[in-house]
Amino acid sequence: MTTVSDSSVPVVASSVGPPPRKLRAARRRRTTVFRWITVVIVGGFFLIPLYSLFESSTKNLGGRRVWDAWQAVGSLATADDPNSKLLWVGLRNSLFLVALTLIIMLVLLVPTMTWIRLRVPWMRRTMEFVCLLALTIPAIVLVVGLAPIYRQISHILSTDTIWLCFAYAVLVLPFAYRSLDAGLDAIDVKTLSEAARSLGSSWTGVILRIVIPNIRSAVVSACFISLALVLGEFTFASLLNRQNFATAIFQVGQDDGRLAMALSLVSLLVAFVLLLVLSLFSHSRKGRKGKTA
């Protein structure tokens, strides 16, 4: 037999525990602490190697701080010597490659993925498999396969580094596919495209005016990852005997370890600046859209 009535239970409970507002504040504090711990750990994971690289590029064997490598980097940017030319040509080639690779990737993937969703959805798995294939094959094996193709490209087009864009488009497929796939999953492609078609839009109009604006963040993220990948690519360019930024850094820094480290940091900085520009560009587009609302 119990002497406690139902109504007494919440009274007892509320008198023992802290009030809900305090509980919420404590939970918020815990979440904030957890977030900062995560930021510090992840930040450390990225920044410690970069700091080590910087330290190594500015210390000689005796442990003394020296700036000769960075002075050399500075002079490379302005000097008219072969190393400087090599770097500038490599950087120019890489930037062109970034632009061409992004164009090929977007032109190839966005319409194809949209079309597959609309007309042949049963082919999605096949498409995914084909796109992810480049991820499962080591770069060196890919180069072995691509070498004869590039021999033909050299005959038909030229030996210009710029034609590496075809190989790079294959290289970025897995990452770009994943990003665009997530973007397309977030919108009702079928209904939106049918609505646009019924209003008189052509297929090109559907892609350019409806699909791409609605997957803009997915496109930007696909561009981010492709840009980072192309700027840092070394294996294809080196083994196919082409000149890009990574191979130029390697060649210039071959005789001087500190210079190589300083140049590596510079290349990371270049990639960072490009990503920042891309990010600012996408944000400014969003901002303009927001203002029109």
Partner 1 sequence: MTTERPSTGGVEVSLQDLRRSYGDIQALNGMSLTLSPGELVVLLGPSGCGKTTALRVLAGLEDADSGRVVVAGKDISSIPTSKRDMGMVFQAYSLFPHMTARENVAFGLRLRGVDGAKRRKAAGEYLDLVGLGAQVDRYAHQMSGGQQQRVALARALAIQPKVLLLDEPLSALDAKVRVQLRDEIRRIQLDVGITTLFVTHDQEEALAVADRVGVMRAGQIEQIDTPEVIYSHPTNAFVAEFIGLTNRLSGQISGATAVVLGTEVPLLPGSPTSGTGSVLVRPEQVRVSEEIPVGQTHPGDATVVTTSFLGAHGRVSARLADGTLVVAQLPSAQVERLSVGQQVVLTVESIPALAVA
Catalog residues that contact partner 1 under the rule CB under 8 A: 187-188, 191-192, 194-202, 205, 209-210, 213-214, 216, 289, 292-293
How far, in Å, CA of 221 to CA of 232, rounded? 17
* Residue 10 burial (10 A CB sphere; 0-12, 13-18, 19+): exposed
Q: Reduce the DSSP state of residue 59 to 3 states and report it.
A: strand
- Residue 187 or residue 265: which is nearer to partner 1 going by CB? 187
Nearest to 212 by CA among 235, 183, 237, 236: 183
Q: How far is the CB of 199 from partner 1 (least distance, A)?
A: 4
- Residue 185 or residue 194: which is nearer to partner 1 going by CB? 194
Q: How far is the CB of 285 from partner 1 (least distance, A)?
A: 10
- Residue 206 or residue 246: which is nearer to partner 1 going by CB? 206
- Contact by Cβ (8 Å): 90, 244: yes
Q: How far is the CB of 173 from partner 1 (least distance, A)?
A: 26
Tell me, what amino acid is at 89? V
Q: How far is the CB of 107 from partner 1 (least distance, A)?
A: 21
- Residue 54 or residue 203: which is nearer to partner 1 going by CB? 203
- Residue 41 or residue 293: which is nearer to partner 1 going by CB? 293
91 vs 7, 236, 263, CA distance in Å? 76, 16, 12
Q: How far is the CB of 293 from partner 1 (least distance, A)?
A: 6
Rg over CA atoms, the chain: 27
- Residue 21 or residue 119: which is nearer to partner 1 going by CB? 119
- Residue 155 or residue 291: which is nearer to partner 1 going by CB? 291
Q: How far is the CB of 123 from partner 1 (least distance, A)?
A: 17
Q: Tokens for 210?
A: 């409806």
Nearest to 170 by CA among 246, 240, 101: 101
How far, in Å, CA of 187 to CA of 101, rounded? 26
How far, in Å, CA of 237 to CA of 8, rounded? 77
Q: How far is the CB of 119 from partner 1 (least distance, A)?
A: 12
Cα atoms in the Cβ-side hemisphere of radius 13 Å centred on 82: 3
Strand partners, 191: none
How far, in Å, CA of 135 to CA of 185, rounded? 22
